Amino acid sequence: MKLKKNWFYFLTVLFAVMGMLYIFAYSFVSLAKNFRNGYLMQGGVFLVLLGIWLFLHLAVAAGRRFKLEEKLSRDKAWVRWAEAVIVTVVLEEAVDALWDAIFSVCRITGDGKAVERWRQVADT
């Protein structure tokens, strides 16, 4: 069954994207309340989101203009290279997060007093 892309499809995609952007922006706005100039932070977040949207829009337009999809679909070597890079980066981040979790559970803070803290835990 082929999905028909009519106005309702694009409207629902638009609402989904707007909802995700709202959630993303609201999280930054709630962070901004802790800063001295909260409105400056809110305006900066809005400008950053607008810049990202504009960049993506122009990148897609340039891709269509120069027919990048056809050129990239001929040679699949870049896909394998990109997959290898992405997997490597994700695995590195996962290993770093695992070590951070292990250090926080073991109460290792990196200040050189881990043995003393373990003795305090053992004494209690």
Residue-wise pLDDT for 61-115, tens only, equals 888 888 877 777 776 777 788 888 888 888 888 888 888 888 777 766 667 677 7
Among 26, 109, 34, 30, residue whose Cα is nearest residue 117: 109
Question: Range with the lowest mean pLDDT among 5-19, 29-43, 75-89?
Answer: 29-43
**Mean pLDDT score, 7-22:** 81
Cα angle: 77, vertex 83, 87; to 5 degrees: 150
Among 80, 118, 34, residue whose Cα is nearest residue 42: 34
Place of tokens 């999905």: 3
